[in-house]
Structure 1
């Protein structure tokens, strides 16, 4: 029965998705127009219709084929609504769901194109926020930081599950890594904490891949799997962008984050500026000892790296006692 239901829903997507896009477009435009004419009650009705349409879209976001979501304008429509303070949180939910969908081994060009489009949308929003917060700092209000945390969550999911979709474009990949570094360096602990999972996974994955390639080369073995060889090439492209400057920036902020707010001296706090350190006031982040163990970094000696570059693995296996 479930298969029959899913088949029926899938077959109806060419009718349902265009309808949802039309509802989003029509009612959003009407809400803006009525608000401009000071017809606030009517504007609220149209806004409620937009929210209801977004909720319906999100019900399809987890399972509807990604190329269909792109083909019928859903990705574009939700991306546009990210610019609206009234609807951006609901639109973020859509991107949270689609970003978490892991790229299949036999992904079609249409899938990669749609996911690459999602990368671009998230990166555009991230660029604007990171620039604004770096210039204005305290002028960014709590709602902006809440929004940024949701965007960062989607960025982490994209990089953890679908980085191959942009690995063929070194410029896009480089910008993405720089933005994730921006989140990791951000003075807001919530954004730093959110991005930590991405860097942990990426560094560990790259390090294990580097070791396996080196071992394969050492024993003269040849990998006959085309898909595995392609994955190795993609990892090499990513590895080439993890340069000394990026590693140095990660180390710098990691050492600062090893400090705890309740334990530092006033003069140290002054030197750190607006950087939010771990505090007992933060909720939902687990124990400080667990957090600190994830931030600890160590380097691979350059002699083990043919390029002579320092590589960092954000280590999460060791558990430290509390300060």
Structure 2
């Protein structure tokens, strides 16, 4: 039985109020009476103080997640629903606090203190998975920093593994011929796909050295692209467009200057990026390009153009419809498909 959440602010651990305190202090820094320099100074001081407190706050948040999630499940199993709701509310409040930190806290700290792992575990719980999805939505687009790149890559690597494990199960359960499925499952799938897209667009280079994981990731994104649900297909289309645009772009050339160490560093970084792109390109094989071409051609037709008397077979692609809200118009979508067709064709001949 799903555990509904209730407000228990009166019993919330004081550390969870750090989120409200942070928002309050952020509002102070935006006061009109302050100059730009004063606002920047206050923000820096605030961020420094919050960063220094992470070694105390993150272990506490992880402990709260672990303890109250286990207690909520245990009490629900014993039919002690009122107690279970209280524990569930603490889990939700803790996740809200975690998500506030996820927007800016170093990924290395989120990984080191178990936050990434804890949120990954909660993806398996119908009661908390959407809040956990919000965490991964926030961390997936994070860019690799110039310093501490290895720690960042390690954290991103673990995020890839967590999301790919969930998406693998989703694609296995809800592929063609899955029958009638609760729409909440597809909503969850959309959240996962959205994070997978952001992760791939921003950090696919982190997988360049792991051929197995890179291959599995591309196959899963192809699975979303081929999915009969239009929303999932549309989300993954954004990834494939970004990937092809990046892979087919010309390598950047950095002018050399004698004795300029910064230019040499940029040249080295540029060469590393080009090597990573070549590794990724080698995995975009003929089978992937052919599948993209096939699905793109099939989806060039609008639902309204299908004859009303036509009986669609089970597992038929959900075609673009006028009631598909929030995704622009059909002409824009078709233009993206055409770009994908061109990209798949060009990639196929490289």
TM-score category by the smaller chain?
A: 0.7 to 0.9
Which of 101-110 and 45-54 deviates more?
Answer: 101-110
Write the deviation string for residues 273-308 of structure 1: whole angstroms up to 9, x where unpaired.
Answer: 521000112111111111111111226878xx8xxx
Q: Which 5+ residue runs of structure 2 have no aligned equivalent?
A: 1-41, 254-263
Corresponding residue of 2:261: none
Quick check: 1:244–1:310 contact (8 Å CA) kept in 2? Answer: no
Quick check: 1:99–1:154 contact (8 Å CA) kept in 2? Answer: yes
Change (3 A) 1:271 1:116: same
Q: CA deviation at 1:224?
A: 8.1
Corresponding residue of 1:85: 126
Q: CA deviation at 1:138?
A: 2.2
Quick check: 1:243–1:310 contact (8 Å CA) kept in 2? Answer: no
Write the deviation string for residues 54-74 of structure 1: whole angstroms up to 9, x where unpaired.
Answer: 000000001001000001000
Q: Name the SS of the counterpart of 2:342 in structure 1.
A: strand
**Bigger RCO of structures 1 and 2 (CA < 8 A, at least 6 apart):** 2
Write the deviation string for residues 148-188 of structure 1: whole angstroms up to 9, x where unpaired.
Answer: 00000000000000111111011100000000000011000
State the TM-score, normalized to the length of structure 1: 0.87
The match for 1:75 among 110, 116, 119 is 116
Corresponding residue of 1:153: 194
Change (3 A) 1:235 1:40: same
Alignment of 1:6 onto 2:47: yes
State the TM-score, normalized to the length of structure 2: 0.80
Q: CA deviation at 1:139?
A: 3.9
Q: Distance in 2 between matches of 1:37 and 1:118?
A: 33
Q: CA deviation at 1:100?
A: 1.4
Q: Which 5+ residue runs of structure 1 have no aligned equivalent?
A: 214-221, 312-323
Corresponding residue of 2:327: 285
Change (3 A) 1:7 1:187: same
Corresponding residue of 1:207: 248
Alignment of 1:260 onto 2:302: yes
Corresponding residue of 1:22: 63
Quick check: 1:209–1:235 contact (8 Å CA) kept in 2? Answer: no
Q: Distance in 1 between matches of 2:88 and 2:73?
A: 9
Alignment of 1:66 onto 2:107: yes
Quick check: 1:129–1:148 contact (8 Å CA) kept in 2? Answer: yes
Quick check: 2:289–2:344 contact (8 Å CA) kept in 1? Answer: no
Runs of 4+ in 1 over 6 A off after TM superposition: none
Corresponding residue of 2:342: 298
Quick check: 1:209–1:232 contact (8 Å CA) kept in 2? Answer: no
Q: Distance in 2 between matches of 1:192 and 1:72?
A: 35
Q: Distance in 2 between matches of 1:300 and 1:85?
A: 37
Write the deviation string for residues 89-120 of structure 1: whole angstroms up to 9, x where unpaired.
Answer: 00000000000112234452111000100000
Corresponding residue of 2:138: 97
Q: Distance in 1 between matches of 2:280 and 2:344?
A: 17
